Amino acid sequence: VFSHIVHAPEDPILGVTVAYNKDQSPVKLNLGVGAYRTEEGKPLVLNVVRKAERLLVDDNSRVKEYLPITGLADFNKLSAKLIFGANSPAVSENRVVTVQCLSGTGSLKVGASFLGRHYHQKIIYIPLPTWGNHPKVFTIAGLSVKSYRYYNPSTRGLDFQGLLEDLGNAPNGSIVLLHACAHNPTGVDPTPHQWDQIRQLMRAKALLPFFDSAYQGFASGSLDADADAVRKFVADGGECLAAQSYAKNMGLYGERVGALSIVCKSADVAPRVESQLKLVIRPMYSSPPIHGASIVATILKNEEMYREWTVELKAMADRIIRMRQQLFYALKDKGTPGDWSHIVKQIGMFTFTGLNSKQVEFMAKEYHIYMTSDGRISMAGLSSKTVPHLTEAIHAAVSN
Ligand code: PMP
């Protein structure tokens, strides 16, 4: 009965790792997947995460019972505080519903399914380009996916005029997916003033903001600064959704820990929204896993551990910024043709290099360097030792 099934294509991002794993070269380099690596090229478990895990293991009162459908209550409260701010009026007015979900993807998925069932407008606008999973998650939820202009390849910056035009022409009430900070894959974010203009336009047309916050703290090194855009939207009293991930900022990739928050207009709406979120989650996976959320809650509620986290998070963000500088100066010193200043201007984990798919292919074949075909490289996968090899490869690819 299954013999008619055709082989599905490899995921474009995870497929890069498949190709990398097959390569036998000792100098091979994987700049595809957005996971942090140390200077030595190794995955990193934060010290504060190890500490939290030890506390959890030593606490014999802890059991492995099911969590409620909405997850760990402490975790939800602390996650809302982290993204919306310690003094958020929306939180203190009980207008925010937060449910623990399976990392950023799971949070987007639960939010998308909720909107597909209960929101009157089924159109969602996503930036062009965006993270490849976005259109899939929203389409499966029954939403009609359209895109708005975001990136201008000729300036390697934001196509702000195009963005305003496209959102200006969107049907009233449309949902708009916004990257809270460190836009993936471009590394290009609106300025605070541009965010204000986007917000005013969206509120005037009753467009519903759905924030994807996968990199809070990872862009600037400051958790508050990276949540600024989200907080501005919440501060005007309107509704919004936010999907949070702890994959990058706490290094909890495989623990799958994240949260979906829905900011409602008033406190009487919130419990009704929560009751419907439970109906979305229950048939999907019943309830979320306990371990990752317990780690996060342990860290967020302890002042000393929270401080330790921010120091380790800043160290990761700073190393990425150093890699940007090293690569930029190496290309400059080598006299590589082109303007490479976007490498230091872009924000977050990725650089959108501007290399085309042919050049990407060339670099894999000749230099054993792997990246997504759109020329996106994960700066976190680089180290001082590998910058010269990448510089050689880029130089050869663009001089070819
Ligand atoms: N959104 C964006 C923009 C991302 O880059 C990612 C991670 N690549 C995610 C969401 C979700 O990641 P996760 O499910 O691992 O939290």
- Domains of the chain are 14-44+319-399 (3.90.1150.10), 66-301 (3.40.640.10)
**What are the residue numbers of the active site?**
131, 212, 248
Tens digit of each residue's pLDDT (9 = 90 or more) over 162-194: 999 999 999 999 999 999 999 999 999 999 999
Query: Which residues sit opposite 377 in a β-bridge?
Result: 351
Q: Is the pLDDT of residue 203 over 80?
A: yes
Cα(129)–Cα(108) distance, rounded to whole angstroms?
A: 17
Go through the chain and tell me how many residues it has: 400
Burial 184-215 (b: 16+ CB within 10 A, else e): bbbbbbbeeeebeebbebbeebebbbbbbbbb
Summary mean pLDDT of the chain = 96
Say what the pLDDT of residue 241 is.
98
Residue with tokens 């855009």: 229
Name 82's bridge partners: none
Identify the residue whose C-alpha is closest to ligand 1 atom 5: 184
Q: Is the CB of 181 under 6 A from ligand 1?
A: no
CA–CA dist 364, 91 (Å, integer): 48
HSE at residue 93, side-chain half, CA atoms within 13 A, is: 15
Backbone angles phi, psi at 32, to 5 degrees: -85, -60
The tokens describing 41, both together, are: 């090229």
Whole-angstrom distance, CA of residue 155 vs CA of residue 149: 14
Q: What is the pLDDT of residue 4?
A: 97
Residue with tokens 């049907």, as numbered in its chain: 171
Helix (H, G, I), strand (E, B) or coil at 363: helix
What is the structure's pLDDT at 13?
80
**Which residue owns the Cα nearest ligand 1 atom 4?**
214
Residue whose CA is at the smallest distance from ligand 1 atom 13: 104
Rounded to whole angstroms, the Cα distance separating 352 from 373 reads: 11
Euclidean distance between the first and final Cα of the chain, in Å? 50
What confidence tier does 34 reach under pLDDT thresholds 50, 70, 90?
confident
Query: Residue 33 has what pLDDT?
Result: 79
Report the nearest atom of ligand 1 relative to the CA of 212: 1
| Residue range 247-269: mean pLDDT, rounded | 98
For 363, the token pair is 């670099």
Strands (DSSP E) along 55-206, which ranges? 96-101, 123-128, 144-149, 151-152, 157-158, 175-179
State the ipTM, two decimals: 0.98
Token pair for residue 279?
């109906």
Pairing of strands 240-245, 258-263: antiparallel
Query: How many whole angstroms separate alpha carbon 69 and alpha carbon 62?
Result: 19
* CB-ligand 1 contact for 184 (6 Å cutoff): yes
Contact criterion met (CB below 8 Å) for 123 and 154: no
Distance CA 164, CA 257 (A): 34
Averaged pLDDT for residues 143-148: 98
> Considering the entire predicted model, what is its pTM?
0.96
